[in-house]
Protein backbone atom coordinates (compact mmCIF):
# COMPACT_ATOMS: atom_id res chain seq x y z
CA UNK A 1 0.00 0.00 0.00
CA UNK A 2 1.37 3.44 -0.92
CA UNK A 3 0.42 6.62 0.94
CA UNK A 4 1.35 10.16 -0.07
CA UNK A 5 1.52 12.72 2.76
CA UNK A 6 1.25 16.38 1.76
CA UNK A 7 2.61 18.91 4.25
CA UNK A 8 5.06 16.38 5.65
CA UNK A 9 6.97 18.91 7.75
CA UNK A 10 3.97 20.37 9.59
CA UNK A 11 2.86 19.49 13.13
CA UNK A 12 0.59 16.66 11.97
CA UNK A 13 2.39 15.75 8.74
CA UNK A 14 5.72 15.15 10.48
CA UNK A 15 4.01 12.68 12.84
CA UNK A 16 2.11 10.90 10.10
CA UNK A 17 5.11 9.54 8.28
CA UNK A 18 6.19 7.40 11.26
CA UNK A 19 2.66 6.27 12.13
CA UNK A 20 1.86 5.22 8.54
CA UNK A 21 5.22 3.57 7.87
CA UNK A 22 4.14 0.69 10.17
CA UNK A 23 1.93 -0.68 7.39
CA UNK A 24 2.53 1.30 4.19
CA UNK A 25 5.13 2.75 1.90
CA UNK A 26 5.04 6.48 2.62
CA UNK A 27 6.10 9.31 0.34
CA UNK A 28 6.08 12.74 1.98
CA UNK A 29 6.02 16.09 0.21
CA UNK A 30 6.86 19.22 2.15
CA UNK A 31 6.08 22.77 1.01
CA UNK A 32 9.41 23.11 -0.81
CA UNK A 33 8.89 19.87 -2.74
CA UNK A 34 5.27 20.55 -3.70
CA UNK A 35 3.48 23.90 -3.55
CA UNK A 36 -0.29 23.51 -3.24
CA UNK A 37 -0.57 26.95 -4.78
CA UNK A 38 0.34 25.26 -8.08
CA UNK A 39 -2.49 22.83 -8.95
CA UNK A 40 -0.70 21.52 -12.06
CA UNK A 41 2.28 20.49 -9.91
CA UNK A 42 -0.09 18.76 -7.45
CA UNK A 43 -1.82 16.86 -10.24
CA UNK A 44 1.41 15.72 -11.86
CA UNK A 45 2.97 14.65 -8.53
CA UNK A 46 -0.05 12.52 -7.66
CA UNK A 47 -0.22 11.03 -11.15
CA UNK A 48 3.41 10.01 -11.04
CA UNK A 49 3.21 8.55 -7.49
CA UNK A 50 -0.12 6.72 -8.06
CA UNK A 51 -0.85 6.34 -4.31
CA UNK A 52 -3.61 4.22 -2.77
CA UNK A 53 -4.26 6.96 -0.21
CA UNK A 54 -3.38 10.66 0.05
CA UNK A 55 -3.28 12.44 3.40
CA UNK A 56 -3.44 16.20 3.01
CA UNK A 57 -1.84 17.71 6.10
CA UNK A 58 -0.71 20.80 4.19
CA UNK A 59 -2.63 24.00 4.72
CA UNK A 60 -2.32 27.75 4.98
CA UNK A 61 -2.66 27.77 8.79
CA UNK A 62 -1.68 31.33 9.74
CA UNK A 63 -5.16 32.51 10.71
CA UNK A 64 -4.14 36.14 11.25
CA UNK A 65 -2.15 36.40 8.01
CA UNK A 66 -5.16 34.95 6.17
CA UNK A 67 -7.13 38.11 7.03
CA UNK A 68 -4.63 40.12 4.94
CA UNK A 69 -4.28 37.55 2.16
CA UNK A 70 -7.49 35.61 1.80
CA UNK A 71 -6.73 34.91 -1.88
CA UNK A 72 -3.68 32.81 -1.02
CA UNK A 73 -5.47 31.06 1.86
CA UNK A 74 -8.33 30.18 -0.49
CA UNK A 75 -5.97 28.96 -3.21
CA UNK A 76 -4.23 26.56 -0.79
CA UNK A 77 -7.12 25.57 1.49
CA UNK A 78 -9.88 25.61 -1.14
CA UNK A 79 -8.76 25.39 -4.79
CA UNK A 80 -5.84 23.01 -4.19
CA UNK A 81 -8.05 20.75 -2.07
CA UNK A 82 -10.57 20.60 -4.91
CA UNK A 83 -7.78 19.55 -7.29
CA UNK A 84 -6.50 16.89 -4.84
CA UNK A 85 -10.01 15.49 -4.39
CA UNK A 86 -10.61 15.28 -8.14
CA UNK A 87 -7.24 13.64 -8.71
CA UNK A 88 -7.88 11.07 -5.95
CA UNK A 89 -11.23 10.23 -7.54
CA UNK A 90 -9.61 9.78 -10.98
CA UNK A 91 -6.71 7.73 -9.56
CA UNK A 92 -9.14 5.63 -7.46
CA UNK A 93 -7.25 6.65 -4.29
CA UNK A 94 -8.71 7.43 -0.87
CA UNK A 95 -8.14 10.86 0.67
CA UNK A 96 -7.85 12.03 4.28
CA UNK A 97 -8.13 15.80 4.61
CA UNK A 98 -8.06 17.94 7.76
CA UNK A 99 -10.41 20.80 8.50
CA UNK A 100 -11.03 23.00 11.50
CA UNK A 101 -13.31 24.18 14.30
CA UNK A 102 -12.90 27.66 12.72
CA UNK A 103 -15.74 26.74 10.33
CA UNK A 104 -18.04 27.46 13.31
CA UNK A 105 -18.92 30.83 14.83
CA UNK A 106 -18.57 29.56 18.42
CA UNK A 107 -21.98 30.81 19.55
CA UNK A 108 -23.32 27.35 20.43
CA UNK A 109 -23.35 26.28 24.09
CA UNK A 110 -22.71 22.55 23.61
CA UNK A 111 -19.92 20.75 21.68
CA UNK A 112 -20.33 20.91 17.92
CA UNK A 113 -21.50 17.89 15.95
CA UNK A 114 -20.69 17.45 12.28
CA UNK A 115 -24.11 18.59 11.09
CA UNK A 116 -24.13 21.85 13.08
CA UNK A 117 -24.49 24.91 10.84
CA UNK A 118 -21.17 26.36 9.71
CA UNK A 119 -20.57 30.10 9.89
CA UNK A 120 -16.87 30.98 9.80
CA UNK A 121 -15.90 34.25 11.48
CA UNK A 122 -12.80 34.90 9.39
CA UNK A 123 -10.83 34.27 6.20
CA UNK A 124 -9.06 31.09 7.37
CA UNK A 125 -12.36 29.46 8.36
CA UNK A 126 -13.94 30.48 5.05
CA UNK A 127 -11.01 29.05 3.09
CA UNK A 128 -11.12 25.73 5.00
CA UNK A 129 -14.89 25.51 4.53
CA UNK A 130 -14.35 26.02 0.78
CA UNK A 131 -12.04 22.98 0.83
CA UNK A 132 -14.62 20.85 2.65
CA UNK A 133 -17.38 21.88 0.24
CA UNK A 134 -15.25 21.20 -2.83
CA UNK A 135 -14.63 17.62 -1.65
CA UNK A 136 -18.26 17.02 -0.71
CA UNK A 137 -19.65 18.56 -3.91
CA UNK A 138 -17.29 16.49 -6.08
CA UNK A 139 -18.28 13.34 -4.16
CA UNK A 140 -14.56 12.70 -3.72
CA UNK A 141 -13.64 9.55 -1.75
CA UNK A 142 -12.56 11.83 1.09
CA UNK A 143 -12.67 11.53 4.86
CA UNK A 144 -12.61 15.08 6.22
CA UNK A 145 -11.32 15.20 9.79
CA UNK A 146 -12.22 18.46 11.51
CA UNK A 147 -9.83 19.02 14.36
CA UNK A 148 -8.93 21.88 16.72
CA UNK A 149 -6.20 23.59 18.76
CA UNK A 150 -3.46 21.30 17.42
CA UNK A 151 -0.14 21.51 19.25
CA UNK A 152 3.24 19.90 19.08
CA UNK A 153 6.28 20.59 21.23
CA UNK A 154 8.52 20.16 18.19
CA UNK A 155 6.90 22.95 16.17
CA UNK A 156 5.60 26.44 16.90
CA UNK A 157 2.23 26.08 18.60
CA UNK A 158 0.22 27.64 21.43
CA UNK A 159 1.71 25.17 23.93
CA UNK A 160 5.33 25.54 22.78
CA UNK A 161 4.94 29.34 22.80
CA UNK A 162 3.56 29.29 26.36
CA UNK A 163 6.51 27.18 27.55
CA UNK A 164 8.98 29.54 25.86
CA UNK A 165 7.30 32.58 27.44
CA UNK A 166 7.30 30.84 30.84
CA UNK A 167 11.10 30.87 30.64
CA UNK A 168 11.25 34.53 29.58
CA UNK A 169 8.62 36.38 31.65
CA UNK A 170 7.41 36.69 35.26
CA UNK A 171 3.73 37.19 34.38
CA UNK A 172 1.77 35.76 31.45
CA UNK A 173 -1.60 37.10 30.36
CA UNK A 174 -3.71 34.29 28.89
CA UNK A 175 -7.12 34.47 27.26
CA UNK A 176 -9.67 32.77 29.54
CA UNK A 177 -12.90 33.12 27.55
CA UNK A 178 -12.17 30.85 24.58
CA UNK A 179 -13.08 27.18 24.96
CA UNK A 180 -11.87 24.44 22.62
CA UNK A 181 -10.57 20.91 22.22
CA UNK A 182 -6.76 20.84 22.62
CA UNK A 183 -5.34 18.18 20.30
CA UNK A 184 -1.87 16.64 20.46
CA UNK A 185 -0.53 16.31 16.89
CA UNK A 186 0.98 12.89 17.70
CA UNK A 187 -2.40 11.49 18.78
CA UNK A 188 -4.15 12.92 15.72
CA UNK A 189 -1.56 11.30 13.44
CA UNK A 190 -1.87 7.93 15.24
CA UNK A 191 -5.67 7.99 14.99
CA UNK A 192 -5.45 8.94 11.31
CA UNK A 193 -3.19 5.94 10.71
CA UNK A 194 -5.67 3.65 12.49
CA UNK A 195 -8.53 4.92 10.32
CA UNK A 196 -6.55 4.30 7.13
CA UNK A 197 -5.42 0.88 8.39
CA UNK A 198 -9.05 -0.06 8.95
CA UNK A 199 -9.95 0.86 5.35
CA UNK A 200 -6.86 -0.58 3.68
CA UNK A 201 -8.62 -3.59 2.07
CA UNK A 202 -10.12 -1.51 -0.75
CA UNK A 203 -9.11 2.11 -0.14
CA UNK A 204 -11.09 3.66 -2.99
CA UNK A 205 -14.27 1.72 -2.25
CA UNK A 206 -14.07 1.97 1.53
CA UNK A 207 -13.13 5.66 1.55
CA UNK A 208 -16.02 6.22 -0.85
CA UNK A 209 -18.43 4.44 1.52
CA UNK A 210 -17.12 6.37 4.55
CA UNK A 211 -16.75 9.74 2.82
CA UNK A 212 -17.90 12.78 4.75
CA UNK A 213 -17.03 15.02 7.69
CA UNK A 214 -15.89 13.65 11.06
CA UNK A 215 -14.78 15.49 14.17
CA UNK A 216 -11.52 14.24 15.67
CA UNK A 217 -9.95 16.24 18.50
CA UNK A 218 -8.57 15.74 21.99
CA UNK A 219 -11.09 14.52 24.57
CA UNK A 220 -12.81 17.05 26.83
CA UNK A 221 -12.62 20.81 26.58
CA UNK A 222 -10.47 23.57 28.03
CA UNK A 223 -10.03 27.30 27.99
CA UNK A 224 -6.77 28.72 26.66
CA UNK A 225 -6.03 29.67 30.28
CA UNK A 226 -6.59 26.09 31.50
CA UNK A 227 -4.40 24.71 28.71
CA UNK A 228 -1.57 27.15 29.49
CA UNK A 229 -1.84 26.52 33.25
CA UNK A 230 -1.70 22.74 32.73
CA UNK A 231 1.26 23.01 30.34
CA UNK A 232 3.21 25.04 32.88
CA UNK A 233 2.25 22.78 35.81
CA UNK A 234 3.07 19.55 33.94
CA UNK A 235 6.29 20.71 32.25
CA UNK A 236 9.08 18.35 33.38
CA UNK A 237 11.53 21.27 32.95
CA UNK A 238 9.60 23.45 35.37
CA UNK A 239 12.76 24.42 37.27
CA UNK A 240 13.76 26.53 34.23
CA UNK A 241 10.59 28.65 34.46
CA UNK A 242 10.73 32.28 35.41
CA UNK A 243 6.96 32.77 35.42
CA UNK A 244 5.32 33.21 38.82
CA UNK A 245 1.81 34.26 37.84
CA UNK A 246 -0.76 33.64 35.09
CA UNK A 247 -3.25 36.44 34.56
CA UNK A 248 -6.60 35.54 32.94
CA UNK A 249 -7.63 38.11 30.30
CA UNK A 250 -10.59 38.49 27.96
CA UNK A 251 -10.34 38.05 24.19
CA UNK A 252 -11.47 41.66 23.88
CA UNK A 253 -8.35 42.76 25.82
CA UNK A 254 -6.07 40.94 23.41
CA UNK A 255 -7.13 42.02 19.90
CA UNK A 256 -5.83 39.94 16.97
CA UNK A 257 -6.55 40.34 13.25
CA UNK A 258 -8.62 37.12 13.01
CA UNK A 259 -11.68 36.61 15.21
CA UNK A 260 -11.69 33.26 17.06
CA UNK A 261 -14.79 31.19 17.89
CA UNK A 262 -15.46 31.66 21.62
CA UNK A 263 -16.80 28.15 22.22
CA UNK A 264 -15.97 25.38 19.75
CA UNK A 265 -15.27 22.03 21.45
CA UNK A 266 -15.91 19.20 18.99
CA UNK A 267 -18.23 16.26 19.66
CA UNK A 268 -16.26 13.30 18.26
CA UNK A 269 -18.81 10.48 18.64
CA UNK A 270 -19.35 10.01 14.90
CA UNK A 271 -15.66 9.07 14.32
CA UNK A 272 -15.74 6.78 17.35
CA UNK A 273 -18.88 5.00 16.10
CA UNK A 274 -17.72 4.71 12.46
CA UNK A 275 -13.99 4.01 12.85
CA UNK A 276 -13.63 2.95 16.50
CA UNK A 277 -11.15 5.74 17.25
CA UNK A 278 -11.22 8.63 19.68
CA UNK A 279 -8.41 10.75 21.03
CA UNK A 280 -7.43 10.58 24.72
CA UNK A 281 -8.44 13.26 27.22
CA UNK A 282 -6.59 16.51 26.45
CA UNK A 283 -4.82 16.68 29.83
CA UNK A 284 -3.48 13.10 29.67
CA UNK A 285 -2.29 13.77 26.13
CA UNK A 286 -0.58 16.98 27.23
CA UNK A 287 1.26 15.21 30.06
CA UNK A 288 2.50 12.61 27.56
CA UNK A 289 3.46 15.22 24.95
CA UNK A 290 5.47 17.16 27.53
CA UNK A 291 7.49 14.07 28.47
CA UNK A 292 8.64 13.37 24.93
N1 LIG B 1 -2.89 23.97 14.08
C2 LIG B 1 -4.16 23.97 14.52
O3 LIG B 1 -4.46 24.42 15.63
C4 LIG B 1 -5.25 23.37 13.67
C5 LIG B 1 -6.55 23.43 14.15
C6 LIG B 1 -7.58 22.88 13.37
C7 LIG B 1 -7.28 22.31 12.15
N8 LIG B 1 -6.00 22.28 11.70
C9 LIG B 1 -5.75 21.68 10.40
O10 LIG B 1 -4.95 20.53 10.58
C11 LIG B 1 -4.08 20.37 9.45
C12 LIG B 1 -2.65 20.23 9.93
O13 LIG B 1 -2.32 21.43 10.64
P14 LIG B 1 -0.90 21.62 11.36
O15 LIG B 1 -1.18 22.14 12.71
O16 LIG B 1 -0.04 20.41 11.18
O17 LIG B 1 -0.34 22.82 10.48
P18 LIG B 1 1.15 23.29 10.23
O19 LIG B 1 2.05 22.80 11.30
O20 LIG B 1 1.07 24.74 9.95
O21 LIG B 1 1.51 22.50 8.91
C22 LIG B 1 0.99 22.87 7.68
C23 LIG B 1 2.04 22.55 6.65
O24 LIG B 1 1.52 22.97 5.38
C25 LIG B 1 2.60 23.56 4.67
N26 LIG B 1 2.11 24.49 3.67
C27 LIG B 1 1.63 25.76 3.84
N28 LIG B 1 1.33 26.30 2.65
C29 LIG B 1 1.61 25.35 1.71
C30 LIG B 1 1.54 25.32 0.31
N31 LIG B 1 1.13 26.37 -0.41
N32 LIG B 1 1.93 24.19 -0.34
C33 LIG B 1 2.38 23.12 0.36
N34 LIG B 1 2.50 23.09 1.70
C35 LIG B 1 2.10 24.20 2.37
C36 LIG B 1 3.42 24.28 5.72
O37 LIG B 1 4.73 24.45 5.25
P38 LIG B 1 5.54 25.82 5.58
O39 LIG B 1 5.46 25.96 7.08
O40 LIG B 1 6.90 25.53 5.07
O41 LIG B 1 4.80 26.90 4.86
C42 LIG B 1 3.34 23.31 6.89
O43 LIG B 1 4.43 22.40 6.90
C44 LIG B 1 -4.36 21.56 8.54
O45 LIG B 1 -5.31 21.19 7.57
C46 LIG B 1 -4.98 22.58 9.45
O47 LIG B 1 -5.84 23.47 8.76
C48 LIG B 1 -4.98 22.78 12.43
Protein residues with CB under 6 Å of any ligand 1 atom: 7, 9-13, 31, 34-37, 57-61, 76, 98, 100, 128, 147-150, 155
Which DSSP letter does residue 169 get? -
How far is residue 134's CA from residue 7's CA, in Å, rounded to a whole number?
Answer: 19
Q: How far is the CA of 231 from the centre of ligand 1 (A)?
A: 22
- The residue whose CB lies within 8 Å of the most ligand 1 atoms, and thus the one to mutate among 34, 45, 61, is 61
Burial grade of 183 (CB within 10 A; 0-12, 13-18, 19 or more): buried
Each domain of the chain, given as residue ranges in start order, spans 2-149+184-217+266-279
- The CA R_g of the chain, rounded to the nearest whole Å, is 19
Whether this prediction's pTM lies above 0.95 is answered by yes
Q: What is the pLDDT of residues 136-184, one digit of tens each?
A: 999 999 999 999 999 999 889 999 999 999 999 999 999 999 999 999 9
Q: Report which of 283, 269, 247 is spatially closest to residue 112, judged by C-alpha positions.
A: 269
Query: 2-149+184-217+266-279 in CATH: which number?
Result: 3.40.50.720
Quick one: residue 276, left, alpha or beta (phi over 0 = left, psi -120 to 50 = alpha)? left
Q: How far is the CA of 9 from the centre of ligand 1 (A)?
A: 9
Which strand ranges, in their side-by-side order, compose the sheet holding 53-56? 25-29, 2-6, 53-56, 94-100, 142-147, 212-215
Residue 292 has pLDDT above 90, yes or no: no
Which DSSP letter does residue 193 get? H
58 phi and psi angles, rounded to 5 deg: -85, 140
Q: What is the pLDDT of residues 84-125, one digit of tens each?
A: 999 999 999 999 999 999 999 999 999 999 999 999 999 999
Catalytic entry in 124, 151, 214, 254: 124
Q: How far is the CA of 64 from the centre of ligand 1 (A)?
A: 14
Amino acid sequence: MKIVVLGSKGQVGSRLEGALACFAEVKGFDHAALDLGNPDAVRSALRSERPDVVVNAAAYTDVDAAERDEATATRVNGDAVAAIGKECRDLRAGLVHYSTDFVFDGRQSRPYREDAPTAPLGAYGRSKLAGERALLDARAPAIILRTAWVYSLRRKSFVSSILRLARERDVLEIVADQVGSPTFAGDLASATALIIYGLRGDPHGEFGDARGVYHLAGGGAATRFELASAAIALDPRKQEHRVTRLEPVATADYPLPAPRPAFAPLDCRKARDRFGVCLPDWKDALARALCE
